[in-house]
């Protein structure tokens, strides 16, 4: 393993080992508390521009495989783990995590105190960092970091969104206890606005008997309105995605057109946030975000609590209750996780 040097914007300077790509990379560092699913996390487009610190101490033990990809590539800048296990053991494994990261040109950092990093991020919040297998000088790393754009200054949607429209027909049927010879006929058709959509979200839409067409982020609201009026589609789904939703001015303008035309819409993650902004309620950045598979969310109608997997740094404001009903709340910090707009 090569040495890797890390500098955080709060002045923290660390040395560790590298098991991924050799490079010098700047990104935002966050922590994820999931106990499994590291390949799905690294290939989630919502992590574009970020280094992910895993609180699970041992990573790599089940290898990687082509079926568990959430997109066509790994989009995170890198991953930080306490201990990397190169000797993987799983009947579905096709290769090691290290080889996967090298192939994807993503940094892998190990032999580092991830508990210390997580506690620091919890106290001080997510922050920018630089990692390098090439530069060991603290002052040089600091200078590069200070002169690099922050994550909120970059439109990562342009990097992760599809360039061409396509139909998605894969579903989750074969993963369930019961089998279908073929998926049922779609009961509705939606257009998915791709801001960095995950494959399993598309699979779940198809499994819910929805016909799915995925289109790029540079969509035309006028075109979608015409298609809705012509009954070609029944609604629009706004996907998850990376970065600060406030920088997506073009997308916000087109969504406002859909709202004015009363086109049915629903969204998740970034899409949920963009709906809020398009209604006139700007989002805000959480201190360290919600990243992980153990986030308790309360259904405000039924009172039931679900343990959810989440990945978002931004949230909608509390005063959105002026135009929407809060349907779901995060029990860690009481922030809004779900809304039903009054005009829907």
Predicted TM-score (pTM) of the model is 0.93
- 43 neighbors 75 (Cβ within 8 angstroms): yes
The closest of 215, 229, 317 to 272, measured between CA atoms, is: 317
The SS3 assignment for 240 reads: coil
pLDDT of residue 317: 97
C-alpha to C-alpha distance for 131 and 176, rounded to whole angstroms: 41
151-168 burial, b at 16+ Cβ within 10 Å, e below that, comes to: bbebebbeebbbeeeeeb
Helix (H) or strand (E) holding 257: helix 249-260
- 315 neighbors 57 (Cβ within 8 angstroms): no
Find tokens 């819910």 and name the residue: 208
The closest of 93, 97, 103, 76 to 85, measured between CA atoms, is: 97
Q: 180: which DSSP letter?
A: -
The closest of 12, 152, 159 to 80, measured between CA atoms, is: 12
Phi, psi of 257 (to 5 degrees): -65, -40
- 48 neighbors 75 (Cβ within 8 angstroms): yes
For 84, other C-beta atoms within 10 Å of its C-beta total 23
Q: Tell which phi-psi region holds residue 303, choosing left (phi > 0), alpha (psi between -120 and 50) or beta.
A: left
| Residue 265, Cβ density class (10 Å: 0-12 exposed, 13-18 middle, ≥19 buried) | buried
pLDDT of residue 343: 83
C-alpha to C-alpha distance for 133 and 138, rounded to whole angstroms: 13
The closest of 80, 70, 65 to 29, measured between CA atoms, is: 80
> What does each of the 344 residues of the chain score in pLDDT, given as a tens digit?
899 999 999 999 999 999 999 999 999 999 999 999 999 999 999 999 999 999 999 999 999 999 999 999 999 999 999 999 999 999 999 999 999 999 999 999 999 999 999 999 999 999 999 999 999 999 999 999 999 999 999 999 999 999 999 999 888 765 544 455 565 678 999 999 999 999 999 999 998 999 999 999 999 999 999 999 999 999 999 999 999 999 999 999 999 999 999 999 999 999 999 999 999 999 999 999 999 988 999 999 999 999 999 999 999 999 999 999 999 999 999 999 999 999 86
C-alpha to C-alpha distance for 253 and 277, rounded to whole angstroms: 10
CATH class of the 2-154 domain in this structure: alpha beta
C-alpha to C-alpha distance for 66 and 64, rounded to whole angstroms: 7
Q: 278: which DSSP letter?
A: H
181 Cβ contact partners less than 8 Å away, ≥ 6 residues apart: none
- 107 neighbors 80 (Cβ within 8 angstroms): no
The closest of 235, 214, 201, 184 to 344, measured between CA atoms, is: 235
User: Which parts of 105-147 fold into alpha helices (H)?
Assistant: 114-124, 138-146
Domain 158-341 in CATH 3.40.50.880? The answer is: yes
The domain ranges of the chain are: 2-154, 158-341
C-alpha to C-alpha distance for 64 and 95, rounded to whole angstroms: 6
37 Cβ contact partners less than 8 Å away, ≥ 6 residues apart: 68, 293, 309
* CA 264 to chain CA centroid, nearest Å: 24
Find tokens 């919600």 and name the residue: 290
């Amino acid at each position: 393993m090569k040495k890797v040097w890390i500098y955080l914007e709060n002045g923290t300077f660390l040395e560790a080992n590298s098991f991924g790509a050799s490079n010098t990379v700047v990104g935002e560092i966050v922590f994820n508390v999931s106990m499994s699913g590291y390949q799905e996390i690294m290939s989630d487009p919502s992590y574009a521009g970020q280094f992910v610190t895993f609180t699970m101490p041992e990573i790599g033990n089940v290898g990687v495989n082509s079926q568990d990809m959430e997109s066509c590539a790994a989009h995170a800048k890198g991953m930080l783990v306490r201990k990397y296990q190169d000797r993987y053991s799983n009947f579905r494994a096709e290769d090691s995590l290290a080889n996967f990261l090298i192939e994807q040109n993503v940094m892998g950092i190990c032999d580092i105190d991830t508990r210390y990093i997580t506690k620091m991020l919890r106290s001080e919040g997510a922050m920018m960092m630089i990692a390098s297998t090439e530069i060991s000088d603290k002052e040089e790393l600091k200078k590069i970091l200070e002169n690099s754009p922050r994550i909120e200054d970059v439109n990562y949607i342009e990097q992760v969104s599809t360039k061409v429209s396509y139909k998605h027909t894969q579903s989750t049927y074969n993963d369930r206890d019961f089998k279908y010879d073929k998926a049922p006929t779609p009961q509705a058709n939606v257009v998915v606005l791709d801001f960095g959509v995950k494959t399993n979200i598309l699979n779940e839409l198809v499994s819910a008997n929805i016909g799915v067409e995925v289109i790029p982020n540079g969509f035309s609201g006028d075109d979608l309105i015409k298609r809705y009026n012509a009954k070609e589609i029944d609604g629009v789904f706004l996907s998850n995605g990376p970065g600060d939703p406030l920088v997506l001015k073009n997308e916000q303008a087109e969504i406002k057109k859909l709202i004015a035309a009363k086109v049915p819409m629903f969204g998740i993650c970034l899409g949920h946030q963009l709906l809020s902004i398009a209604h006139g309620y700007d989002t805000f950045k959480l201190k360290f975000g919600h990243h992980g598979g153990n986030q308790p969310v309360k259904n405000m109608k039924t009172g039931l609590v679900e343990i959810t997997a989440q990945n978002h740094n931004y949230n909608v404001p509390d005063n959105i209750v002026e135009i929407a009903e809060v349907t779901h709340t995060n029990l860690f910090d009481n922030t809004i996780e779900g809304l039903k707009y009054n005009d829907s």
